[in-house]
């Protein structure tokens, strides 16, 4: 569980000096400006849940090759042990605002709150500021490709699609979620019957897997579980960089302490399972652009059943199912960007 800040707290409480404040799209910590961003990324996550989403958020914000028009604060399932609510989307929005304040980043209207709850059926959207903003961004004329980077449930994108189905052909969904695929991997021992992110809103995932024009890049459970970092790495490469890194590390330690208090053994590694969202959107090759150091297979897009399993659909559109992600590139890039930013923020 990420600790929820007071949404009414003074935004200047983190004491970021005026000359260390910036707007999204700016990179004042770099010695020279980076060329113009070549892709747009809508970031969608349940920021009040597992703190791995904080690492993905900071990493994306520090990546100059992408422009981030929207940050979507999405809900968790009811009574989720990571944040039992009641309003987890509002909690996610408060966390988002707090991280931006810690970084000295101006919001500029990019933070939008998603629906408070999952879809009630496959035909009715959960109308929200987030769903409307997603439609507006997807339908806007812009030559830069648009990725929808989702690290949790899919309520808000599914709602946007139900409001305006034409968005499906105008973006690529990169999703951290879903169970293992037959023939590619086995589930972990004692796995949840329905994969965690899918369980947030099974109906929303069904809507999007059934959307005939939507391109999906899936990072299923067996692959996001590859994204392990050690506690020593987090202490030396994250916590030691400065106030932002210390905050990120403290949130992981807080979650590990909660697990220990619950009576579960605690590992000295932690899965930053949302970080492939950055790898697959911001760290693509210059020539023949793609996440060339990661591996995927193409499969016909299956249907998702109500119990969270796949049902093959003959002749359906292809989707990417990632089988391996380049954790070296992903984490080394994050560590160095965090260090660069911390040095600039400290005035070094």
pLDDT for 314 equals: 94
- Smallest Cα–Cα separation from 94: which of 2, 6, 1? 6
| Nearest CA among 126, 256, 103, 219 for reference residue 95 | 103
Residue 9 pLDDT: 75
Tell me the pLDDT of the chain (348 aa) as tens digits.
799 998 677 767 888 999 999 999 999 999 998 999 999 999 999 999 999 999 999 999 999 999 999 999 999 999 999 999 999 999 999 999 999 999 999 988 999 999 999 999 999 999 999 999 999 999 999 999 999 999 999 999 999 999 999 999 999 999 999 999 999 999 999 999 999 999 999 999 999 999 999 999 999 999 999 999 999 999 999 999 999 999 999 999 999 999 999 899 999 999 999 999 999 999 999 999 999 999 999 999 999 999 999 999 999 999 999 999 999 999 999 999 999 999 999 997
- The strand pairing partners of 173, in sequence order, are 148, 216
The structure tokens listed for 28 are: 């004042």
Exposed/middle/buried for 314, CB within 10 Å: 0-12, 13-18, 19+?
A: exposed
E strand or H helix at 140: none
Token representation of residue 7? 């949404």
Structure tokens at 113: 């709150």
Alpha-carbon gap, residue 232 to 211, rounded angstroms: 43
Burial 85-119, CB ≥16 within 10 A → b, else e: beebbbbbbbbbbbbbbbbbbeeeebbbbbbbbbb
pLDDT for the residue 10: 74
Distance CA 314, CA 310 (A): 13
Q: Show the tokens assigned to 263.
A: 């009576």
Q: pLDDT at position 142, please?
A: 98
Residue 173 · residue 197 · CB < 8 Å? no
Provide the pLDDT for residue 51. Answer: 98
Q: What are the phi and psi torsion angles at 6 (to 5°)?
A: -70, 115
Q: How far apart are CA 303 and CA 70, in angstroms?
A: 28
CATH of domain 29-345: 3.90.245.10
What does the domain layout of the chain look like in residue ranges?
Answer: 29-345
Pairing assessment for the beta strands 111-113 and 66-73 based on DSSP bridges: parallel
Per-residue pLDDT, 11: 65
């Amino acid at each position: 569980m990420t600790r929820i800040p007071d949404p009414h707290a003074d935004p200047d409480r983190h004491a970021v000096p005026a000359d260390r404040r910036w707007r999204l799209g700016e990179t004042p910590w770099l010695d020279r400006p980076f060329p113009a961003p070549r892709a747009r990324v809508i970031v969608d996550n349940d920021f009040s849940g597992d703190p791995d989403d904080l690492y993905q958020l900071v990493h994306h914000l520090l990546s100059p090759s992408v422009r981030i028009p929207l940050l979507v604060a999405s809900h968790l399932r009811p009574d989720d042990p990571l944040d039992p609510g009641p309003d987890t989307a509002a909690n996610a929005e408060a966390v988002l605002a707090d991280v931006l304040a810690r970084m000295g980043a101006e919001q500029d209207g990019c933070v939008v709150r998603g629906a408070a709850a999952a879809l009630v059926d496959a035909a009715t959207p959960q109308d929200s500021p987030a769903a409307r903003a997603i439609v507006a961004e997807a339908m806007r004329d812009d030559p830069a490709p648009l990725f929808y980077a989702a690290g949790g449930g899919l309520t808000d994108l599914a709602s946007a699609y139900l409001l305006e189905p034409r968005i499906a052909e105008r973006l690529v969904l990169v999703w951290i979620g879903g169970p293992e695929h037959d023939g590619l991997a086995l589930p972990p021992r004692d796995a949840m019957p329905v994969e965690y992110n899918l369980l947030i809103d099974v109906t929303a995932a069904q809507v999007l897997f059934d959307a005939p024009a939507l391109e999906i890049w899936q990072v299923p459970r067996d692959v996001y579980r590859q994204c392990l970092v050690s506690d020593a790495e987090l202490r030396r490469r994250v916590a030691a960089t400065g106030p932002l890194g210390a905050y990120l590390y403290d949130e992981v330690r807080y979650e590990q302490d909660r697990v220990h208090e619950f009576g579960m053994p605690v590992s000295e590694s932690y899965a930053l399972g949302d970080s492939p969202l950055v790898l697959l959107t911001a760290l693509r090759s210059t020539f023949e652009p793609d996440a060339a150091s990661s591996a995927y297979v193409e499969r016909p897009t299956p249907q998702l059943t109500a119990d969270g399993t796949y049902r093959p659909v003959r002749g359906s559109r292809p989707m990417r199912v990632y089988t391996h992600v380049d954790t070296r590139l992903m984490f080394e890039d994050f560590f160095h960007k965090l260090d660069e930013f911390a040095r600039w923020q400290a005035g070094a």
